[in-house]
Structures are given as structure tokens and as C-alpha cells.
Structure 1
Amino acid sequence: MIASGPRGFAIGSFDELAPWSYASFPHRHEFYEMVCVTSGSGTQVIDFVPYELNPVTLYFVAPGQVQFWERRTPIEGYVVVFLEEFLAAQYGDRVSPRQSLTLDPLGIGRALHLHDDQIEPIMGLFAALYREYRRPGGADASVLQAYLHVLLVEMRRLHSDVGTSMVEDRSTALARRYLRLVSDELLNEQTVRGYADRIGITPKHLADVVRRTTGKTPAEIIRTALTVEAKRLLTHTDLTIAQVSQRLSFDNPSYFGRFFKREVGMSPGEFRRGGMAGPAPKRGAARTRVRRRGDRLPSVTQLPT
């Protein structure tokens, strides 16, 4: 068992945290997960992208991303799970895990294989978090928040090293705000003008800063986000194609079908029949529930204690 620490945060090994650390069925978490694999190997699928995890690999999964293990050998390493409110209690909205790691919200699950000179400093931060969490007499939340903040900054730098532009300027801040809004409000807003109005800039200004910062247009980012969410719903729920279309705010199923085929290269029905759902969860899987009527995707809603 792991120690009882501050609310909204936990760190431990794969075996210490909970059965879902090794879950071989598609599921999603309602908290952030940061993982460092130090031994063993496996393939984890995150939002339909398989990642080969070998020592020493670092990866991050945001709330709502669909994941499962396709294959693995016994794995050792650190698993950190936390709620955004845990950091917000210390830093407010100045530090957002989703925004700190990458400008592409759809690339958050990307695995990073550490070079020899990167291993020691990163492992030192995980070890410091672990020691503080298990500190006799109880961990100090502010110390955990500080270590976690530094670890997020280091992960962001690693993303930058492999090609993600992370120039800290006003354009970057605007682009991040746009990406966060798309991530949070996709089902309610799907127009570039709508997001520009929310941010308080013109659509042209938004297009300029997003393209300059991410290499993509705002419309491309919306289409990609819609495609990923459509894949999630088609693969991991029992919703009909018409219901998926309605959930994603398309005017009608025909328009949704044309959109999906243009983006994916096959119809929604063909994609669903492709058998991409992965294995079903075992009966009585721990700490899971169905998020809403029509969904069959288990959602881990509580951090381990």
C-alpha cells in the first residue's frame, strides 16, 4: 500500500497504486498521470496511438484520454497521479499541467525516451517526490507541489528538445489558451470565430498566432480534436452513429459521415467494425464506473489512497 498523502496527489510504483496501472482494457482517468518506466517493457495505447515503453521512458496522460496496455512484461518505475486543483492550490492558474507540457493537446500522450544525460536529473525529481510523499509524520503539500512543478517544467523542456516550439511570449500564451479552450469546450463550440470571441481577439489574429506557434491552423486543430473524440465514442461506447453525430454537434449523421471519412479515410461504420476497441474490462474491475448513459468505457474517478 502507498502512504496516505495530501488530497489530490499520489505517487508509487505500478503495483502500489492500483490495479488500473496495468489495465488491459480501454479506460480513461479523471486525473493527470505521469509515468517513468525504469525496467520492463510494453505497449500502451493512448488515444489510438501505440507507444513502445522501454527503460527509461517518460510519458504523460491527461484526463479523458483513452488508454490501455496492449502487451507488457513486469514493469517497474514511478507513477504520479494528481488533480489539477492540487497544483492550483499553490500556483493558481499560472501553472496548468496540460498547457505546461505541450502546445498540442492531442500529443500529450507522446512517450519520451530519455538520453543518458537526462536520466539522473529526472529520476532525482521522482525520487524526491516519492521520499516526501512517504515522509514519516506526513508529507508537506507545498513541497510536493514545488517538486511537481519542477518536474512539469523539466518535462516541458524535454518536449521542446524534440521539436515542440515552446517560446515564451504573448503568442504562445494565446495559442495555449486557444488549445485549452478547444480541449474543454469542443462539444459546445466548434468555430474559430467563437473561440476568437471568447479570447477577445479577431479570428485573423488567432489564426496568425496559432499557425506561428503550432504550425497548424485553428480550424485544423478543431478538426483533429473532433476526429479524436469521434474515434473515442465510436470505439468505446455503444452510442449509435447518429447519437455520436449528435453528441459532437453535427447538423446530421450524413454530414458527420462525410467529415469522418474525409479525416480518417473510412466511414464511421467501417471504423467501428474495424475492431479497434481493445479487450473488454474484466467483471468487477476496481474503481471504475460508466461515465454516462450509453457509454461502456470505465472511468477511474478517484485517486488511490
Structure 2
Amino acid sequence: MEATANIPHYYLYGDQGADVELDLLNIEIIRERSGPNDWRIRPHAHPDHMQVLLVREGGGTIRMEELTLTIPVPGVLVIPAGIVHQIDFNPGTDGFVVTAALGCLKAAAASDPRLLDAASRAAVYSLEGTGVNIAAVTDTFYWLHREYVWSAPGRRTAILAQFMRILVVVLRLSITQEDPRIIAPDRDYDLLARYRALLEEHFRIERSPAFYADALAVTPARLNAACKNRAGKTASDLLYERVTIEAKRYLVYTESSVAQVAHMTGFDDPAYFNRFFTRQVGISPGAYRKQVAGSHE
């Protein structure tokens, strides 16, 4: 497979847009995206999102990194963030694809670290002979899709609840099936994963890539190279994105003032926070809050 730096990075396959609901998820029906693409999903990666697929009928093959596997039917596929993958579906294949932001994954897995661990391992699982109730698994994906397309009260909570059920299914499959994992073959992926974990711990107070490089026992140049290769972004880009996502959450989901949001995201100077946010997003924090509020009226 060609170098990952030359492989497209998407939120959704074929979608270059970056203005997405970064801390939630998307679910769609397999045939709706794969059919128009001649049932072939060409090599790509999702730097900030992971995927869980339920293949109900059809099948095909999936290549994750250097390993190609047959897709079992019915089966569940787990594609962690950053894993380069290609899928060749048999014509007529159907099921669901969940694309979840890492923040959404973290929120849904907060009650049990094993959920996060199972969702972070690339794997292909058959549902046959596992003891897992196939009808219940299908129903969970179906209801997640239904909640996603509805605009009913409690939509976000319902979506997270159904996604948590899917993660429980993944956890149980990981326990019942022997060695289903596809291990990422290079150190760049491992370094990026450890960098993201450190960001979660320190992004509010540590804004220097040199701090993270030192904590990871690598040079800043080495950290940058891994981030560019596996995420298509610099270490600073990923750090600033993480800060911006947190600021957006506070602006959208709390009534805190802009000055309070600045403090909660680690800025001593609200004016500097305003400049930072405007540079990252293109509009001021106050304007962003009004824009999002207006879009949900």
C-alpha cells in the first residue's frame, strides 16, 4: 500500500468538508455511499474518527493496513482512527456504517475503559456462533440510524445510548473470538495514538509541542513527522484542533460567558482566546455561538 501521506483523509469517504459535528457521529446505510462508488471504497483513513460497520448481507473484502480479510455475513468491522483501509463490497451489500468522532467515542466509553480499548483495535468479527443476539445487534444499529435522522427531544442522549450499546457488542465480540485484531504495522501510528492520549490529559495547560515530544521521548521533528504521516496534520494542528473542539463544546452546550470559556480552556487572557478562536474557526466565539443557535431554531 502506498505511503499514508499520499492517501486521502476524510471525515466521510469522498467528503472533503471539514465543517462537521466533530464531537458526535454519523450513521448511514452501506448501499447509499458504496453503491454510487461501484461498491469500492478506495484506500483512505479517518484521522479523527473511528468506524463500526454492520454488514447484514452481501459481503466482500476489507484491507486494513497490509492485511486483507473476507467480510463475514453477518459481521461487524471495527476501523480505528488513522487506520488506512480499502473495502471491496459485493454488489448489493447492505448494512450500516457508524463514523464516530474520538470525542464521541470517549464520552460513550466513559463508564467502562474496556469499551474504549475494544473500539481502538482494528478487527473483523463474524456474528455467527458467538452467542451474540444478531437480531438485537441489527436492531441497535437500526435505532441509532432512526435517532440520527430524527430531530426529536433527547436526540443526542439517545444517539450516545445506542452507540454505547454498539460498543458493548464490540467488546463482547472481542472477548468471544480468538485474535481478531489487525495490528497497525508502524511506529508512526503508535506514536500518534500516544500523543492523542497525552493531549487529552494536558491540552488545557500545555500548548507547546516540545512538551509532548519530551513526554513521549522523541524529538519535536519526529512527533511532527508521525502526525503528518498518520493524520495529515502537524502536532500543533492537532493540539489547536483539540482546544478548539473543547471551546466549541462550552460555547454550544453551556451558558458560560466567552470569558469563562476562555478560562475553562486554559486561556488567561480572554482577548487572546478570541483571537485564537477566530483564527481557527473563521468567526469570533460569540458569532459562532449565535450561528449554531440559529441553525437549531
TM-score normalised over the length of structure 1:
0.47
Larger RCO, structures 1/2 (Cα 8 Å, 6+ apart): 1
